[in-house]
Structure 1
Amino acid sequence: FETSCVYFQEDETHLWQSDGCRVGPMSNITHIHCRCDHLTKFAGFVPPNPLNIREAFSANILENPTGLILVLAVFTSYVMGVIWARKADRKDIAKVGQMMFSYTHTHCQYLITVYTGFRGNAGTTAEITLVLYGSQYESPPLTLRDDSRCLFEQGSVDSFLVSTEEPLGVLTHMRVWHNNAGFSPSWYLSQIVVANRATKVTTYFLSNRWFAIDEGDGKIDRIIPTSVEKDITKFHNLFLAKSSREMNDDHLWYSVAGRPARSPFTRVQRLSCCLTLLYSTMLTNIMFFGRGDDFDPPEPLRFAGLKINPPISL
């Protein structure tokens, strides 16, 4: 085991140097005592094991094949995962789109965006219909369908451009229901966002509820009021939206399976990042493997009859 004290040389080299610094006598298992004869940015560190790539390739791998088997198993799993991820990415491309209903009243257009939740079996095979209610008029029943792609799948975001004969005014609420058809009609609706193309006003309808006869309260027909800023900024709603978004889009490992269809970061790219991270971690472990073996292990912790051996901290 070896430690050293170094300082950062702030010139064109930008290197860590050891001139004028040495390890002090008060160094122990948890602390490094550095003594320097000049003021600068200094630090103490444990040098890693030297890696000789040429020697590693020339060694007899059959004497200890465990490492090679592990590396090959991880890479084989990655190749199989890439095949699956590529197919899933192609399906995601088919999910993204905007359905334009036939219309003649271009001055009364509404862009309706439906967010299906990320819960298990949140997607539906049923046909979704809704009615918008405004301060002046109400829309006819709008059946949301698109024969060119699958709609309302788990975690999907589906957009529809519709029009009405007259402006509806300020939206107050909407009615949403489905026909409970297909082999999996249960549906978990996260929210619906309606944007008025003429006035540029966006209205939110928060749901976060099941439309299913076998989930929740068993209803498949609901009235959803417009959500004011107080509703949108509630902790419960913010927590659901943020946790769902970050787990399915920002979490590197989980997002390989839960990636939103509209995300530009593909599943293949995410899986490749996971492989790089895993191999980098394995390489780092090799560099520092056994650097604390010269120390006597600390006393084990005993609690409720259990014996816990804490790791050695360098």
Structure 2
Amino acid sequence: MVRKCNVRDHTIERAAYQSEVPMLVEIVKAFGREVMQKFVDGETMNFTSKHGMVMKNFMTRLTGEQPWTVDLGEEANITLPRGFCPTGTCGEEVGVTAYRWPHLTYCHPKSEEKMAPDTRVIAMDLMTKSLAEIVVKKLENPIVIYIPRTPIPEKVNAAKARSTILPVVYSNFNVSHNGSSLNLEITPAGPSERLFLVLAKARIPTLERHDWSALVKDLPKRNDTYEWFFSNADLKGEGSYFLGVGEFKAGFDPAAFLRDPESSGATKAHLKNISVAYEIRIYTSGCYFYNEDLGEWMADGILASFSDLRVSRCESRHLTQFGAGFFVLPNSIDFSYTFAKIGFHDNVTIYATLIVLWVIFVVLMLGATPLPDNRVEDKYLYEILVFTGNKKEAQTDSTVQFIVSGDRDESEVRTFGDEKRRIFRKGGIDVFVMAESRPLGKLSMLRIWHDNSGRGPNASWYLSYIVFRDVQTGEKYAFIANQWFAVECEDGQIDRTLTVAGKGERRLFLHLYHNTSSRGIVDGHLWFSRLGSCFSLLFLSMLVNAMWYQRVPEKPGLGSFEYGPFSMSTEQIGVGVVSNLIVFPPTLLIVFLFRKSRPKVLRKSRILKAVEEMRSKAKAEGALASDCESNDSLLHHKFIQKKDTFSPLHTNPPTQPFHTTSPPPFPTTLHIFSVLSLPHDERK
């Protein structure tokens, strides 16, 4: 049950933990009392479970003359202060039971989020010789508890962060709880006599304005690392803190800066760009006790007096269960710092990445492949989506050609092709752009075939369906095949004529089955929506990676969740869950908005409206002969095709035809009629 608590198996109700954990703790205490009944002064018993729980029982006389330490292993211990006489009379026999739990015990409260996932829990019970519990609180001198800590945060190599513009390099971090202590570690790679640190809360520290300052060489040193520690009493509570690292020029007295920064006269002119590479590590710690009355982990009355990579030292004036906190928080963004270092030279990699991604986006946004036989002068565009089936050997390398017919015209023989990639792969979707000199009208028939020139299994082809979209009007026409174009399959045909699918045919089960996996792809904004969604997912993923960059150790510590060769700490699981909550809701929202949006409906041309009114009025009055009606229909067509070059207000017809097949010239009487038939506001 405890191990489930450690890996945060929330499938078990918190209420169950709330009842079971105290029961388990009470069983262990009862075992200690049972053993203590038979103890005499000086007798001890140590117990270690296979899961790592350590319990020490002994009977002793506390004289209070010297501090007294109980060692629980793994650098965990409890030191009782000088003058500690819990019964009020020094020298009386006292039963002592000390525990080191390998994992967090009470994990049902919400406050357990403060706790380090791999913290040890240290506890001590005192009792009289008659086994009555001794309550310890409001001590004059504190009890000192050392609690082992894991995992160890990694150092950040700051060599590449050294600026060529600003002489001070800043780091930003959060202190999330008022009871937290702070550790700043810096490991220079060379001489550091003139390196200095400045620290401030809620603002970027400067030489004139900062809350704390220190010379690196004056800090406590362990191996090659200088350590700057702040207890929870030293800090200014929770919030955002900024650390600056800089280097004074030769000739300036750094000691004067430490004595009195304002009177020292230190300015930016006394600084130089940092000449030595260094590594930095920043982490916070906390000390907490479990309040049995409130059922919460609390930091009231406990001082986190020291912390390093191995242990946290806590000072308390009462006895209960103690645990250490270790917080893995996202990197916060300070915009003043960001804009101060926004220069290209300090962020070459970032700018290069953004430029490359933007170029890729623009190139991919073009999306569709123009047909190789498109002519430059043809301006009327159709988007063609070809869906190759997902059957075995459905792909083809044969040359595929087609003719599409509408109620106005039909295309010439057109050929699919792409020099840069292989098309018509199994289960693939290929997008092409076909250019025509004029609209074909409402499409009704498609003849499509291939030359069977592919080798082996790549000669035949299984076509699911083809969708034509008129780019100008947004209308779509589906031609459903779901057939083999193969001499060795079905009817042996490689040349088929398909009619446009009606509503009934589109609703057939077979078509719905083939269409289910890609129905959203044939929307009018097909490629842009897919590409935009993919890039939003990419950039959001980059964002959350930056938020937790170097915040969680790569190697899981004790208590990690292991499955075969894989292991993952609770911190990594938590960061993964929060990252997904940040990335996927916005991405799904973008996909939903693209899915629900529709092509823009353009306002109808005023000239087209006028011509339609003219034709309807003429038909109602019966004033036109059949040949005039024919010419008027042609005029209506030319208004649509060439309205910028021909107007009914012209007194003479155009000398050049609009199409390769020239229609007969318009009679002058038709122009007069057109002028008289236009509404008054159009004749102005």
Normalised to the residue count of structure 1, the TM-score between the two structures is 0.49
Q: Which has the larger radius of gyration?
A: 2
TM-score (norm 2): 0.24
